[in-house]
Amino acid sequence: MNTPLSLPRPEHPRPQFVRTTWKNLNGAWTFAFDHGLSGRERNLSRSTGFDNTILVPFCPESKLSGIQHTDFISCLWYHRTIEIPAVWDGKRLLLHFGGVDYDCEAFIDGQSVGRHYGGSVSFSFDITAQACPGQTQHLVICVVDDLRSGRQPCGKQSHRHDSYSCYYTRTTGIWQTVWLEAAHPQGLVDCRIRPDLDQSRFYLEPRFYSYRKGLKLRATLLDGEPVIAEETVTAAPGASLILSVPDPRPWSPEDPHLYDIRLELLDEEGKILETIASYAGLRKVHIEDDLVFLNNKPVYLRMVLDQGYYPDGIWTAPSDEALKRDIVLAQRAGFNGARLHQKVFEERFHYWADKLGYLTWGESASWGLSTHHLQHKMPGKNVLAPQEEAFLNFLTEWREIIERDRNHPSIIAWTPLNETSSAADWLFHARIHRELYDTTRALDPTRPINDASGYVHVKTDLYTVHNYKQTGKEIDQDMASADPDRIWRNYPDLDAKYQGQPYLVDEMGGIKWIPAQERQWAENSWGYGNAPKTEEDFYARLEDIVDAFLRAPHVRGYCYTQLTDVEQEQNGIYYYDRTDKFDMGRIAAIFRKKPKP
């Protein structure tokens, strides 16, 4: 598709599922704040334009949006006109959103076409019945966001007016690409692609919008130009395909090889009705005893915490190149992967991780959920307490996250929760963890699961802890024992018993450093521990910490906090604007160290 150069974020948002019949809706929209939540009473769904202009896909809190309104926003209304190409007539017409925080309802010419709950993940509405190809129509979006309710996950978005501690500027409304797409009426919804390295093949599980007798699906596997495998099956519910890979070339950080996959819907005569371009990596992740294996070889994880915040876009990267650059910067600093922390990263990030050989854990923005019941319920009404409603909201969104991202070879583990150390009902707390583990395992049996990063574990494949001790001596004392009954845990009275899983320190370091020639981001700038007095002291402390974890014989990896400064949290190895904060050669020499055999 051709797009104007001035269009923000013009690239296709779904690199693993590309139709050529799509239209990017980013750019200037009109909008209005609705702090009183009265827009429905005022029939704003029938608007033909609002007084203010915003640049989509950037949230109104961001500089790039042109608004930079950083106070709480209860509700937003967006408007723009759309023109469905006349040649799309007879197609299934889809309205896609990369991400909208939080409760999103869309209207075309005043008629509702769908509603979605969940601020982090992509979704779409089928607008075939309401759209009129060849005509101009009014698209209105209503977004409601109440992150202080305890009912919705929000990650690191601040619950106070200002940013503080490890909480930052909020994101409200549209924050990823919006686009239109035309599909065949019986076309593909998606296609699960599961690698099987041991048998050198890919399993494909397509889903279709509807069934029509006589249609076929042809899947073709390509390695560059040559076709290396092809299979055709009936395009019906439950259909599956196997593509065998001769002379397999596994995907790995050292060789991130990707195979192209072409999916074609065929009619009874073999005519191509629809084509989808995709790709996949042939790789395997599994656990044996207390080791993580990648492609049947043990891998030591040297990860960095990446929170995905940008000075000008908040949750939204200013460009596709900025997504790629963050991975390049992390690899340059000596890391082989990242925890994508308290945010669901957009699909373009995972695409670059796939291309560049960057190991990640798929995570969520779980913070913000209530873990306590309401003190009072409304009399005479059966109202869900926030704890149950919050979990329902989270479980639905977590399922959508896994279904969207599970084809990416760079994702090697799932982590639904983070630091779950507070609960009004510990039995319900345990039930939540078990349900999330079991749901994740059912949706994806190919990756290990870390039920709660750091703590409190209930049912988990990876045993993770957070340790921000600032000297090697303290870390040596904590990591002295690998005995299951004596192994170091954040909450030994609450955590599940260690049962020999891979033991990883998935948060550590976090050393605050603000060079003398720089200034604090804010009066409340912070990091972990007392800041070193000189830059040389910083290098010495960092190496001391890393060396301590490397010499602990039972530690199978670590994650350093963090890749960049984020607002007042100034403990990154790069500045917030991604410029060098240290001698990166010295930093990389430390993080590239490996444990001794």
Considering the entire predicted model, what is its pTM? 0.95
> Residue 375's pLDDT band (boundaries 50, 70, 90)?
very low
| R_g over Cα of the chain | 24
Please, what CATH class does the domain formed by 188-280 belong to? mainly beta
Q: What is the pLDDT, as a whole number, of residue 213?
A: 95
Q: What is the pLDDT, as a whole number, of residue 265?
A: 98
Q: What are phi and psi of 464, to 5 degrees?
A: -115, 145
Q: Which residue spans of the chain are classified as CATH 2.60.120.260?
A: 22-183
Distance CA 145, CA 152 (A): 9
Distance CA 247, CA 244 (A): 10
- Asked whether 150 and 425 are in contact (CB, 8 A), the reply is no
> Residue 376's pLDDT band (boundaries 50, 70, 90)?
very low
Percent of the chain with pLDDT over 70: 97
- Asked whether 31 and 50 are in contact (CB, 8 A), the reply is yes
pLDDT digits (tens, 9 = 90+) for 388-439: 888 999 999 999 999 999 999 999 999 999 999 888 888 989 999 999 999 9
Q: What is the pLDDT, as a whole number, of residue 381?
A: 52
pLDDT digits (tens, 9 = 90+) for 442-469: 999 999 999 999 999 999 999 999 999 9
Please, what CATH class does the domain formed by 22-183 belong to? mainly beta
- Asked whether 582 and 324 are in contact (CB, 8 A), the reply is no
Average pLDDT of span 110-123: 97
Structure tokens at 1: 């598709």
Q: Give the residues across from 136 on adjacent strands.
A: 83
> Residue 38's pLDDT band (boundaries 50, 70, 90)?
very high
Average pLDDT of span 337-356: 98
Rounded to 10 degrees, the C-alpha dihedral 558/570/363/101 comes to 180
| Alpha carbon 296 to its chain's center | 26
Q: What CATH number matches the domain at 285-591, 3.20.20.80, 2.40.50.140, 1.20.1250.20, 3.30.300.30?
A: 3.20.20.80
pLDDT digits (tens, 9 = 90+) for 513-524: 998 877 777 778
Q: DSSP state, 149?
A: G
First CA to last CA across the chain, in angstroms?
Answer: 52
Distance CA 439, CA 556 (A): 26
Contacts of 177 (CB under 8 A, 6+ apart): 9, 13, 24, 25, 26, 57, 96, 98
The answer to which of 237-251, 259-273, 336-350, 507-521 has the lowest mean pLDDT is 507-521
Q: What is the pLDDT, as a whole number, of residue 2?
A: 40
Q: Which residue spans of the chain are classified as CATH 3.20.20.80?
A: 285-591
Distance CA 327, CA 324 (A): 5
- Asked whether 281 and 256 are in contact (CB, 8 A), the reply is yes
Q: Spell out a b/e string for 514-545, using b for 16 or more CB atoms within 10 Å of the CB, else e.
A: beeeeeebeeebbbbbebbeeeeebbebbbeb
Average pLDDT of span 361-375: 79
Distance CA 276, CA 535 (A): 52
Q: Which residue spans of the chain are classified as CATH 2.60.40.10?
A: 188-280
Residue 27 has pLDDT above 60, yes or no: yes
pLDDT digits (tens, 9 = 90+) for 123-182: 999 999 999 999 999 999 999 999 999 999 999 999 999 999 999 999 999 999 999 999
Q: DSSP state, 321?
A: H
Average pLDDT over the chain, rounded to an integer:
94
Residue 1 has pLDDT above 60, yes or no: no
What does 213-267 look like in DSSP terms, one character per residue?
Answer: TT-EEEEEEESSSSEEEEEEEE-STT--EEEE-SS-----SS----EEEEEEEE-
Q: What is the pLDDT, as a whole number, of residue 378?
A: 45
Average pLDDT of span 303-310: 98
> Residue 225's pLDDT band (boundaries 50, 70, 90)?
confident
Distance CA 241, CA 462 (A): 32
Average pLDDT of span 361-369: 94
Amino acid at residue number 113:
V
Q: What is the pLDDT, as a whole number, of residue 382?
A: 54
Element (H or E) spanning 549, and its range?
A: helix 535-551
> Residue 508's pLDDT band (boundaries 50, 70, 90)?
very high
